[in-house]
Amino acid sequence: MSTEKHSKETVLAHGLGHMDEQHLGVIPGIFPSTTYERSADNSYPNGKIYTRDHNPNYEQPEQVLAALEKGEEAMLFSSGMSASISVFMSLKPGDHAIIPKVIYWSFRNWLLTFAKDWGIETTFVENGNIDAVKAAVRPGKTKLLWLETPANPTWEIEDISAWANIAKEADAVLAVDNTIATPLLCNPLELGADIVMHSATKYLNGHSDVLAGALVCKTKNAQWDKIRSIRASGGAVLGPFEAWLLMRGMRTLSVRVNQASSNALSFARAFEQHPLVEEVLYPGLESFKGHELAKKQMQGGFGGMLSIRIKGGEQAAIDVAANLQLIKRATSLGGVESLVEHRASVEGEGTPCPDDLLRISIGIESADDLIADFSQALTHINK
């Protein structure tokens, strides 16, 4: 299937046209074999040696994701964390990286805890402050700029093109976590990024039943080859069934993201002026600080993630979450069901997250039902 001729929605629905060629099934099968036979001349005619490096079930989601992100190649990983860490592991001891302060908390913790042990130096800068990024560059040492936009869980928008210009001047790589926007709403490689990361557990899978990650490169090079070697040697790969489930989820990505984005905008507007709400953090609101930049970078919507700061502080926010009846209190995001979490409690000491903040992953339910559920939960404050 030609990706130039067809829309992203069609590419997803048809999975780039992959089929079960032996039986003519419209869906490819599951290939559980861990190893592959050599031919009589001692070669591997299909190019596959061992499932830690190759498996037929990796190929379709990798090719579809590369097409969606408009990159040269994609790689699946066992999780978003393993995908992210592999990029940093491809650096050399003494190399320097620049990262915004607000990013996915587990990865921020890894950087604070383990990156130094690998000999990687890191500088964290204020989100949305491009001058701070420029000032943090160490000529000859800065080799990686890493950003997440929108930034979890306060959803600041970073100017990808501006970061890309700084990376280019520093002869560094720009990697962008595109989990929240998804390739339907933003394509960082077109804005100058070199690598895109996805926690495929989230929107790409979309059903809260697969742990997976992915990287996409703009151009294959020596660093990309090193990342591939890190993945293979560390065994940070999916099982074939999980890869198959991931592809099944990806087929409905456009439907789910469009519905979640529409629901999130309606939800954000419903509580923007609520007397018990301190602030609604959602890039789709005109009142949001990064709204204009989000409009420029994100096409077709602003995603399904938002946060609401509750008047009355931490306990009030926890009380609201406790009284939700439809929205589930659980970690993660991007599934068909809506989830809520008091992030400061999860992140613990050192979190940059306000203690009155509830992070909400809006699903594909009726927006009216979600709004009604949150409205009734707000009535329990101070009861």
- 261: pLDDT strictly greater than 90: yes
Q: What is the percentage of the chain residues whose pLDDT exceeds 90? A: 81
pLDDT tens for each residue of 127-154? 999 999 999 999 999 999 999 999 999 9
In this structure, what are the phi and psi dihedrals at residue 351, rounded to the nearest 5 degrees? -65, 140
Out of 104, 218, 231, 356, pick the active-site residue.
104
Interval 178-229: pLDDT, tens: 999 999 999 999 999 999 999 999 999 999 999 999 999 999 999 999 999 9
What is the structure's pLDDT at 2? 59
Residue by residue, DSSP assigns 18-86 as --BTTTTBSS------SB----TTS--TTS--BTTT--HHHHHHHHHHHHHHT-SEEEEESSHHHHHHH
Res. 116 pLDDT band, cuts 50 70 90: confident
pTM (2 d.p.): 0.94
Q: With a cut of 70, say whether residue 1 has pLDDT above it.
A: no
Q: 104 an active-site residue?
A: yes
Bridge partners, residue 358, by sequence = 308, 342
pLDDT at position 383 over 70: no
Residue 26 has pLDDT above 90, yes or no: no
**pLDDT > 70 in the chain, percent:** 99
Q: Are 379 and 320 in contact (CB under 8 A)?
A: no
DSSP, collapsed to helix, strand or coil, labels residue 180 as coil
Q: What is the mean pLDDT of residues 283-312?
A: 97
Q: Which of 159, 177, 194, 356 is catalytic?
A: 177
Q: Residue 23: is its pLDDT beyond 80?
A: no
Tokens of 256: 């789910």
What is the rounded average pLDDT for all residues in the chain?
94
Choice among 52, 101, 296, 328 that is catalytic: 52
* CA torsion angle 175 181 184 187 (round to 10): -30
Of 202, 228, 256, 343, the catalytic one is 202
pLDDT number for residue 318:
96
Q: Extract the tokens encoding 79.
A: 């999780």
> Residue 3: pLDDT above 80?
no
- What is the DSSP secondary structure assignment for residue 84, as one 8-state letter? H
Phi, psi (rounded to 5 degrees) for 286: -65, -25
Query: Token pair of 4, please?
Result: 């130039």
CA separation for the pair 244, 362 (Å, rounded): 25
Provide mean pLDDT across the span 251-275: 98
For the chain, which domains are there?
8-250 (3.40.640.10), 253-378 (3.90.1150.10)
- Residue 87 is predicted with a pLDDT of 98
Helix H or strand E encompassing 250: helix 240-250
pLDDT of residue 357 exceeding 70, the answer is yes
Q: What is the pLDDT of residue 333?
A: 97
Q: Residue 29 and residue 20: Cα distance in Å, rounded?
A: 6
Predicted confidence at residue 29, as pLDDT, reads 87
Sign of CA dihedral 134, 281, 112, 69: negative
Q: pLDDT at residue 317 above 90?
A: yes
Question: In terms of pLDDT, which residue wins out, 50 or 79?
Answer: 79
| pLDDT recorded at residue 316 | 97
8 catalytically annotated: no
